[in-house]
Structure formats: C-alpha cells, structure tokens
Amino acid sequence: MRLGKWRGYISALVIICALAVTVFAQVDQGRIAGTVKDQTGAIIPGVMITVKNDRTGEERSVMSGDKGDYQAAALRPSTYTVSAILAGFAKTEISGVQLIVGQTLNLELVIKPAGVSQELTVSADAAEVQVDTSSASLGANVNTREVAELPINGRQLSQLYLQAPGAQNTGNGQYGDIRFNGRSTEQNAIRFDGIEASGIVDAEPGVIGAELVSPFKLQSSLENVQEFRVESNNYTAEFGTGTGGQINVVTKSGSNAFHGSLFEFLRNDRLDARNFFDRVRPGGQSKLPLRMNQFGGSVGGPVVKDKVFFFGSYEGYRLRNGVNLIESAPSGLAKSQAVPAVAQIIDAFHAPGAFILPGASADPNFDIYQLPASNIVNEDSVGARLDFKLSANHSLYTRFFRDLGPIFSRKASAGGNYRSGPGRKTESSRCSPLFPRRSSTKLNLATIRRSRAASEKASP
C-alpha cells in the first residue's frame, strides 16, 4: 500500500515535468546587456560574450550583433563573470558583476588587440547602485545582505516591502497591511520565482481555506528568501495581475560550495519595559508575560558539481504572550436602574477574571473592564529546493514549502493567574479570550518549473 502511494507521487512529478511549458520574459530574472567596442570607440560585431554564474558555474554565451550590441537574458540573480573573446584580440574579463532580480544591467565591454590583456573587477556595491535606464518603473530591490541583516520584528518578509516608494503600513506590518500609492491590499501581487502566489481574498502568500487571512508569520520564511524586488508604480507590461505593488521573490538555491547557517532570536518581558496598557491588576502583577523564540537554520550545496544542487531550511516560532482586552460593560448603577428582564442578563457581560479600571469611564452607566489573556503559538516552517542543469539551454527545479502550527488562546482567572480554557476548533484566525478557541492551519506550496534560456539580440 505504501509502495503504491509513492509510485503515485513519482508519476505525478514526471507528468508535471513533462507538461511544463517554456517560460520567457520571467519577472524573477535579469539581463546583462551592452555594447562591445575597441580602444578607439568603434563598435565590434561578432564577439563571443560568455556570462558565467559564479555560484553554480552555469554559463551563457551570446554573440554581439552588427551594431556591437549583445544581450544575455533569463539570468538568475547572482554574481557573474563576463568575458569577451574575438580572434586577433585579447580576452577581456570582468568579474564580480552583481545582478539583482528584475534588473537589466548595462555593461560596456572594451577589447584590445592581441598581446594586451586586461582583467577588471567590479565590486558588488558598484553594480547595485547603477541606474536602470531600461524602464521607467518605480520600485526597490532588497538584496541578500539586506534580507539577512536588516532588523525585522518577527522576521516577517512583508515589513521589507516598506522600502519601496509609495508603500504604507496600514496595520501591524503583516502581508495584508501593506498598501502602495493608496491602492487596496487586494491589488497587490506576490510571486515566488516568477510564479503567482497571491491569496484569493488578500495579497498575502497563504490564507486559511483560501478565504481567511492567515495569522502565521512564516508563510515565506526569510531563510528561503535570497532577495526580492517591489515594483510600486509605472511597472512594465509583464505585470498584469494587479494595480498595487508587484512583489517578486527569488528563493535560495544551492551552489557549488556548501553553505549553512544557524540562528535564534529571543524576546523576553524581563528585557522589556512595562507596556502602557499593562495596568496594575488584582494580585499586584503589572506586566504581561512575553516569551518569543525564533530559531532554525539552512544548508545548501552541490549534489553533482555544475549539474544538481540542493537547499533546505527550517524555522520555528514559539510565542507565549499576554494580551490586554479593554471593553466597556454596563455598571452596577445601570443594573439597579434596569427592568428585571434586562437586569438578569447584565452579569453576562462581565467575563470571569476581568477587573474594572478605576476612573476610566466618564459615563456612570458603564464601567471600563480589562481582561488579561494569553496567546500560545507553535509554528514550524520547512522548505526544500532541488535545481537541475539539464543542458546549456534547459534547467529545471522543484521547490516545496510547508507552514504548520496551532494557535491557542487562554483567559485569566480571578487574581490574574492564567489557565487553559476549553479549546475548540474555529474557522476564525483571530481568537478572543472571552471565548477560548483553538485555530490550526497549514500551508503547502510546491512548485516545479522548467525554463529555457533565451538568447536574444536586442539593443539594451
């Protein structure tokens, strides 16, 4: 029975690979283009230009046209070495060329007569600050270093969207809270490696049952993200699924060298000051508890050098935090003035464990209550990717993400001590301590794509 199940998975994988279509003009890739000239500035046609990916050893070769122009398209974001070779001339080589997602990098090559060799080194920073004159779009690139080092509360990718011009945070920085130039969040579009990953209701990469906004943070763990670009306005014709922000995420892949990482981030109430809303309550406790840990790691490398690469990651999220719910409810004065039928149900508005905030209400018929509660989140995210170099013009990869975890809500008993409430499943991702609930969901995202490298000759 188990063998038959695996045969079904393998058959489905083979069918998907066989039916995969050729993809051109992919928005998750870039191009290197320019003109080849000699020392006098004259254009040189017929020069063989080779672009080599320093991470994977993958090479792309194109020929300069009649006007000396060349273009190497469908390149993955990476660091490249560009060389020019022509009989009777010395080899010209430029190393350290950094290509970022969605970029058309203009790179002019100058070749010299045989006997005079040259080798240039371009730093990554110098390549990144070049202005892209091929498009009038407005946007921002977030490179590998920024993804890894910028401080982000909860390591949530969506908070990096705010680097793009016109971006606005209308909530707490989650995927469904970022707007661009006044557009609704439903108008945003997010793509992973050029493949649409937007939710049906909102623009975040994962929702519960395709309907409810997900409360989870690791739908796209930063451990899986190499870099991304946000187009916020004036984007070109290949973007057509929304009028808001266009987010193109490039996921990490393996290379010819083994690389790995381990990390842990910690937040604790002992390291924090008291929140303004943490009022002194019965029992003398004035600060709500907070325990947050994010930990994990990743590893990637070659399976077969220059041919097959792997990358895998894991990230865990553990949260134990207190929550203050502040609401108004009818006071004792209102109960004493109410008719008997109404007075009998007024006590139902007073949740066990809630206490009155003295002097907080300006209406004697209402009291302001504070109800302490706590949330428990146990979230685990895993990712895996395999890349195959099939030939000089064909490559294939398969990618799998999974995000799974339960969310619990607990209310407080009288005196301020927390206790577990009777958990029950709910379709809502937002849980109230007045009615303890349990919410659980998982997100699976598997993608298989086959691409054909396009070698074009066009003016940059």
Query: What is the per-residue pLDDT for 119?
Result: 54
Q: Is the pLDDT of residue 438 over 60?
A: no
Query: What is the per-residue pLDDT for 282?
Result: 57
Dist. CA 38–CA 112, nearest whole Å: 6
- With a pLDDT cut of 90, the percent of the chain lying above it is 29
CA angle 435, 273, 170 (to 5 degrees): 60
DSSP result, 226-276: EEEEEEEES--TT--S-SS-EEEEEE----SS-EEEEEEEEEEGGGSPPPT
pLDDT tens digits, one per residue of 342-379:
888 888 888 777 888 888 889 999 998 888 788 888 99
| Spans of all domains in the chain | 2-134, 138-251, 259-451
pLDDT tens digits, one per residue of 299-331:
999 999 999 999 999 999 999 888 878 888 899
By C-alpha distance, which of 104, 106, 88 is closest to 38? 88
pLDDT tens digits, one per residue of 84-142:
999 989 889 999 999 988 888 999 999 988 865 555 554 444 344 455 555 666 778 88
The pTM for the full model equals 0.73
Query: What is the per-residue pLDDT for 12?
Result: 60
Question: What is the homologous superfamily of the domain 2-134 according to CATH?
Answer: Carboxypeptidase-like, regulatory domain (2.60.40.1120)
Query: From 3.40.50.880, 3.40.50.1860, 2.40.160.20, 2.170.130.10, which CATH number describes the 138-251 domain?
Result: 2.170.130.10
Dist. CA 122–CA 360, nearest whole Å: 64
Q: Is the pLDDT of residue 453 over 50?
A: no
Query: What is the per-residue pLDDT for 194?
Result: 84
Contacts of 21 (CB under 8 A, 6+ apart): 450
Please give the average per-residue pLDDT across 263-283, as a whole number: 76
Neighbours of 306 (CB within 10 A): 13
CA angle 308, 104, 65 (to 5 degrees): 90
Half-sphere exposure of 23 (CA within 13 A, CB side): 18
What's the chain's average pLDDT? 77
By C-alpha distance, which of 302, 305, 193 is closest to 254? 302
